[in-house]
Amino acid sequence: MPGLTSIRTSEGKIEIVNQLLLPHTTEFIEISTIEQAHDAIKSMKIRGAPAIASLAALTIASHLSRALQADPSPDFLTSPLTLQEHVEGHLSYINTARPTAVNLGAATRRLSNILEQSVRAGKDARAIAEDLIREGKEIDEEDVGRNKQMSRHGAEWLLEQWAAKGLSGSNLNVMTVCNTGSLATSGYGTALGLITHLHETGRLQRAFYTQSTPYHQGSRLTAFELQTLNIPSTMLCDSMVGSLFQSHGIHAVAVGADRITRDGDTANKVGTYNAAVLAARHKIPFIVVAPVSTVDLDIADGSSIPIEHRPALEACVVRGALYPVRTDAEGLKEQATVMITPEGLDGVYNPSFDVTPAELITAIVTEKGVAVKRDGESTFDLTSIV
């Protein structure tokens, strides 16, 4: 069954679906410059760690493709060194769009390494640009395949755990946080991919997902994806996770990740930590599903992960739904943004992510397989999977 899409490309044109307007309006926006990609990521028109990495890589590739076709050639194609300076500038700029998801940095570092290698190999500027275009497209294309791999690994592992407890016949209720499906990746998804895989193989009873306020990635995006895929599902407010665990047979919690340290501490959408604490209390397996590129070996533990804080206003309004309050001559609708707090609050705490310590995580699933902690240990050793 086809899922939704975050990025579409054809004949060198890149378009993203404006996620600020989903699910009520599906509007595709063309991204033709690095500045537009930066703005789209920063303003959350596109979000989700793998999707923003794919957009960055594709935009660099498309910028270079256009340069190669331009007549006259732009000055930066004069020599390998002018090209290197130009591309490095763009890579560092796009890297500043959002700080927590390491996938963006991993994608730009990968392009930077190709650039370095091709310059060292003595290639001319045009050949180096070709190498970068190939790599940029590959970063996007490889995402869907690895998402399917990790989803299968995670689902099979989970079913084995339940079979070991003598529950091989039962279908699973799985809760998730935020949005980790097709809209957050180049396709299929990570934690939502695992849920989709269970559904496709007839082993899912029901998916549960938190609203994930204040941006409502759950109630807007995960809701829309699950509806599109016809997956039985139930939404809950972020404050209802404890109640859900007390009253429903939840078999597992599966979440995505924006950055995983080498010990396994995991930054993900704010609210993930709350769910992990409650899952531990209720002895519910808590699984992180993410590509290997989300593991940051340079960081030992979660206290060093840079956590993005979003503007205060974003936590004071309800937005994202598009009401046809007015339709102008061009047929454009206005977005309704409703203030829910008194104006001018004294203080607003609005981190976009929190860190779940490895101690609370049962397994980390990547395209390479399932990592668990050694008996008696409270952290993972992820050095071998990266």
Binding site for ligand MRU (CB under 6 A): 47-50, 101, 178, 180, 184-185, 190, 217, 256-258, 268-269, 352
CB-wise, 45 or 63, nearer to ligand MRU? 45
Per annotation, catalytic residue among 140, 143, 238, 258: 258
Nearer to ligand MRU, 190 or 211 (CB): 190
What is the closest distance, in whole angstroms, from the C-beta atom of residue 150 to ligand MRU in the complex? Answer: 10
Contact 78, 84 (CB under 8 A): no
In 3-state terms the chain splits into helix, strand, coil percentages (rounded to 5) of 45, 15, 40
Of the CA atoms within 13 Å of residue 147, those in its CB half-sphere come to: 28
Instruction: Compute the least distance from the CB of residue 185 to ligand MRU, in Å.
Output: 5
The backbone torsions φ and ψ at residue 216, rounded to the nearest 5 degrees and listed phi first, read 60, 40
CB distance 257 to 49 below 8 Å: yes
48 conformational bin, left if phi > 0, alpha if psi -120 to 50, beta if neither: left
Smallest distance from ligand MRU to CB 114, Å: 24
CB atoms under 10 Å from CB of 135, counted, come to 19
**By Cβ distance, which residue is nearest to ligand MRU?**
256
CB of 221: closest distance to ligand MRU in angstroms?
8
Q: Where does the chain have alpha helices with state H? A: 34-42, 49-69, 80-95, 102-120, 125-164, 191-200, 223-228, 241-247, 272-281, 313-316
Residue 258 designated active-site: yes
Q: At 22, which amino acid appears? A: L
What's the start-to-end Cα distance of the chain, in Å?
32
Smallest gap from Cβ 51 to ligand MRU, in A, equals 7
Cα–Cα distance for residue pair 204/174, rounded to 1 Å: 8
Q: Is 323 exposed, middle or buried (CB count within 10 Å of its CB: 0-12, 13-18, 19+)?
A: exposed
Nearest to ligand MRU of 84, 356 (CB atom):
356
Nearer to ligand MRU, 244 or 275 (CB): 275
Q: In this structure, are residues 235 and 209 in contact, taking their beta carbons and an 8 Å threshold?
A: yes
Beta carbon nearer to ligand MRU, 157 or 353? 353
What distance lies between CA 193 and its chain's CA centroid? 12
Select 80 or 193, whichever has its Cβ closest to ligand MRU: 193
Nearest distance in Å: CB 303, ligand MRU = 19
Tokens 């404050």 found at: 239
Which residues carry out catalysis? 258
